[in-house]
A and B are shown apart, each in its own frame.
Chain A
C-alpha cells in the first residue's frame, strides 16, 4: 500500500475508503470504546490504588504484589487453568464426536439429538444448577442413591463437599452446559462438507478415518476455531456455578479467579484488588487466545 509513488487519485480513493469504513465502524466503535475500552482503562488505572468503599489512595503495584503472594489467589488461578485445560479439549472433542455421529442420522433423529444436547444451554445456568445440586446431595441425592443401590459405594459421598470431587462436578456441569452450541455448529459444518470430495475419496478406497482427516477435518477447521474460542471464553468465565453451588469451597478447591474477583470486590469491597486480578486475568486470556489462534491457523489448510 505504502508505495512512494502513490498517485493523487489512489490517495483520494484511500481517503474515501477510510472515511466510509469508519462510518460503518462508528456504531460498533461507540459501544466498543464506551463500554469495553473505557472501563478497561479505568480498571487498569484503579488497580494501582487501594480502592475501597471509603478509601482511594495510590499504592503502586501493591495490589499486584499482594495478589501474587495471596495463596487463595494462586489456588483460584490454578483451578481456573484446570477448568479451561480440561473443559476446552473435552468439549471440543466430544461435540465433534457427537456432531459427526448424529449428522449422518435421519433428519428427525438428528433434530431430536441436536435439541436434547442444547437443552442445558437454553434452560439457563441457575435452573440447571438447582437440579444438579439436588442430584449431588450427600444424603438424598440421585447419584448416591444410584451408586449405593448398585453397591459401587458403601458410604455416601459429598460430591460438592469433597476437595477431590467438587471441581470435577463443576467441570461436569460446565461441560453439559457447554457442548450444545458446538454440537449444533459441527452438525451444520459436517453437513456442508463438499460431498463430491468425500465420494471421490471413497471411490479411491479411502477408509472412513482417512476421509475424515484428509477431507472433513480441514473443511471444518474454521468451525473448530470458533468452538475453541467460545468454549475458552465460557470456561474462563465460570462463575455462576461456583456462586450457586460451592462458594469456592471446600477448602478453596473450586475458587476461580472470576469468583475470587467477585468475592473481593463485591463482598469485601476491595475494588482495587479485584481490578488488579481482573487485569491479570485479562492478560492471561489474551495470551491464551493468541496461542489458540496461532496453533489453529498453522494447522489449517488455507
Chain B
C-alpha cells in the first residue's frame, strides 16, 4: 500500500483501520475528510456503541478520515476441556474475566496437571501483537499511552510490573515465550493442542479454526489485577484517497454510505466481515443465524473495549519496538531499562511524526 501511495496509484476507496487511515495517511494529507458522512444521526448511533470508535476515526485536526463499518475486541482463548480436566475453570468468572492472581493459579493448575507448555508469549514479529500488548498491560492495569495519545507509558510502575510478571512466570516454567514465533504460529500451537491458551483470539479466528480444533476454544478476557480488563479493539472502515477527482470522490461517498448505512446492505456487509456493527441501531445482526450463540459470546466483550491508542502517531515504529523489547526482557535484560528504552524510541517517533 505504501508503494501504491508513493506511486500515486492508490484506489479511490480503501478499507482499513484508524491507525492507518487517520494517523498515518490522513495525517499526511492523503485522505479526504468524510465529515459529511458523519451526520448527527451517524454520530449519535456510533457514539452509543462506543465513544472510543468516534474518537479513533477523528484526526487531531478534527477531520474524519474514516467512516467505520465494523469492530471487534481481541480476546484470548483457552482450551476448555483441558482447563476442566486441570480443574482450572474455577478461576474464570462467569462473565469470562479473571484476575491476575487467579490466572497464575490457573497456570499452576495446568502445570500440576502435566501440561508442558501452558501458553506462549510470542515476540518474533509484529503479527498479532495486540495480544501481547493487552496481556502485559492488563496484568496490573497499566495504560499503554497517556490520554492525549502523545506519549507512551508502558514504562510506568504498573506496566513494568506486568512485563516483569511475564518474565517471572516464564522463569518459573508457568508460561513460555518464543522470540521466533508470531501470533499465527501461536494459534497453530493452540489449535493442535500443544499449548492450552492463545493470546490472539477473536470471533473470526474461532470460525477459521472451528473445523480443525478437536476441543472447545473458550474465549476469555485478559486477566487483570482489578478484574476489569481493557481490551484492544479493531475498528475497520472506509477512507477515500485524495486522487483529486471530485466526481470520483462524490461517487465513493455514495458507495460507502450504501455499504455501511443501507438498512439491508449494512448488516450484510458486517456479517461478511464476521465482526460487529459500530452502529448500535443495528442491534444483534447475527440473531436467528447459526452464528448467533458464538457471536453473542463475543459481543459480550465489547463493553470492555479500551482506549483506541493505536491512533497515536509513530504507531508503526512502536509496533517494531514492542516485540524487540519483549525479546530483550525475556533474554534477561532489566525490564525497567528495556521498557524505558522502548518508550524513548516510541516517544521519539511520535514527536518526529507530529513535528512533520
A–B contact (CB under 8 angstroms)? yes
The docked-state distance in angstroms from the alpha carbon of A139 to that of B207 is: 24
Give chain B's interface secondary structure class: mixed
Question: Chain A's nearest CB lies how many Å from the CB of B123?
Answer: 8
The docked-state distance in angstroms from the alpha carbon of A115 to that of B179 is: 35
Contact B324 A53 (CB under 8 A): no
User: How would residues 142 to 181 of chain A score, 1 for a CB under 8 Å from any chain B CB and 0 otherwise?
Assistant: 0000000000000000111111001000000000000000
Q: What B residues does A73 contact at CB under 8 A? A: none
Interface segment out of the listed A186-194, A215-223, A265-273, A283-291:
A265-273
Q: CB of B334 within 8 A of chain A?
A: no
Q: What A residues does B124 contact at CB under 8 A? A: 160-161, 246-247, 249-250
Question: Chain A's nearest CB lies how many Å from the CB of B345?
Answer: 10
Contact B331 A251 (CB under 8 A): yes
Contact A252 B180 (CB under 8 A): no
Q: What A residues does B192 contact at CB under 8 A? A: 140
Contact A163 B331 (CB under 8 A): yes
The tally of residues in B whose CB lies under 8 Å from a CB in A reads 32
Give chain A's interface secondary structure class: loop
Task: Check A268/B180 contact, CB under 8 A, given A53-B5, A53-B6, A139-B195.
Answer: no
Task: Classify chain A's interface size.
Answer: 20 to 34
The docked-state distance in angstroms from the alpha carbon of A262 to that of B3 is: 11
Interface segment out of the listed B71-79, B157-165, B315-323:
B315-323
Question: Chain B's nearest CB lies how many Å from the CB of A111?
Answer: 37
A234-274 residues at the B interface, CB under 8 angstroms: 246-247, 249-252, 263, 266-269, 271
Q: CB of B45 within 8 A of chain A?
A: no
Q: CB of B327 within 8 A of chain A?
A: yes
Contact B331 A266 (CB under 8 A): no
The docked-state distance in angstroms from the alpha carbon of A160 to that of B185 is: 12
The docked-state distance in angstroms from the alpha carbon of A247 to that of B320 is: 9
Contact A250 B2 (CB under 8 A): no
Contact A139 B179 (CB under 8 A): no
Q: CB of A136 within 8 A of chain B?
A: yes
Q: What B residues does A250 contact at CB under 8 A? A: 123-124, 179-180, 327, 331
Which A-chain residue is minimally distant from B323 (CB atoms)? A249
Q: CB of B294 within 8 A of chain A?
A: no
Contact B356 A251 (CB under 8 A): no
B23-45 residues at the A interface, CB under 8 angstroms: 25, 28-30
The docked-state distance in angstroms from the alpha carbon of A266 to that of B189 is: 31
Contact B5 A158 (CB under 8 A): no
Q: CB of B257 within 8 A of chain A?
A: no
Contact B180 A246 (CB under 8 A): yes
Question: Chain B's nearest CB lies how many Å from the CB of A36?
Answer: 19
Contact A268 B324 (CB under 8 A): no
Contact A158 B2 (CB under 8 A): no
Contact B180 A160 (CB under 8 A): yes
The docked-state distance in angstroms from the alpha carbon of A191 to that of B317 is: 54
Q: CB of A52 within 8 A of chain B?
A: yes
Q: CB of A138 within 8 A of chain B?
A: yes
User: How would residues 5 to 25 of chain A score, 1 for a CB under 8 Å from any chain B CB and 0 otherwise?
Assistant: 000000000000000000000
Contact A263 B180 (CB under 8 A): no
Question: Chain A's nearest CB lies how many Å from the CB of B115?
Answer: 12
Question: Chain B's nearest CB lies how many Å from the CB of A255?
Answer: 10
Q: What B residues does A268 contact at CB under 8 A? A: 316-317
Which A-chain residue is minimally distant from B3 (CB atoms)? A266
The docked-state distance in angstroms from the alpha carbon of A138 to that of B124 is: 12
The docked-state distance in angstroms from the alpha carbon of A254 to that of B195 is: 27
Contact A138 B2 (CB under 8 A): no
Contact B180 A158 (CB under 8 A): yes
Q: CB of B347 within 8 A of chain A?
A: no
Task: Check A247/B125 contact, CB under 8 A, given A139-B194, A163-B331, A271-B6.
Answer: yes
Contact B29 A54 (CB under 8 A): yes
Question: Chain B's nearest CB lies how many Å from the CB of A104?
Answer: 41
Task: Check A251/B324 contact, CB under 8 A, given A54-B356, A267-B316.
Answer: yes
Q: CB of A204 within 8 A of chain B?
A: no
Q: CB of B213 within 8 A of chain A?
A: no
Q: What A residues does B5 contact at CB under 8 A? A: 53
Question: Chain B's nearest CB lies how many Å from the CB of A162?
Answer: 7
Contact B180 A136 (CB under 8 A): yes
Q: What B residues does A161 contact at CB under 8 A? A: 123-124, 178-181, 327
Could you list which residues of chain B lie within 8 angstroms of chain A, going by C-beta atoms?
2-3, 5-6, 25, 28-30, 117, 120, 123-126, 178-181, 185, 189, 192, 194-195, 316-317, 320, 323-324, 327-328, 331, 356
- Enumerate 14 A-B pairs (CB-CB under 8 Å) in ascending A order: A53-B28, A136-B180, A159-B180, A160-B124, A160-B179, A160-B180, A161-B178, A246-B124, A246-B180, A249-B323, A250-B123, A266-B2, A266-B3, A267-B2
The 4 nearest A-B residue pairs measured at CB: A161-B180, A161-B179, A160-B180, A250-B179
Given contacts A160-B124, A161-B327, A269-B6, 20 further A-B contacts (CB under 8 A): A53-B5, A53-B28, A139-B120, A139-B189, A140-B194, A158-B181, A160-B180, A161-B124, A161-B179, A161-B180, A162-B179, A246-B180, A247-B124, A249-B123, A249-B125, A249-B327, A250-B179, A251-B328, A267-B316, A267-B320
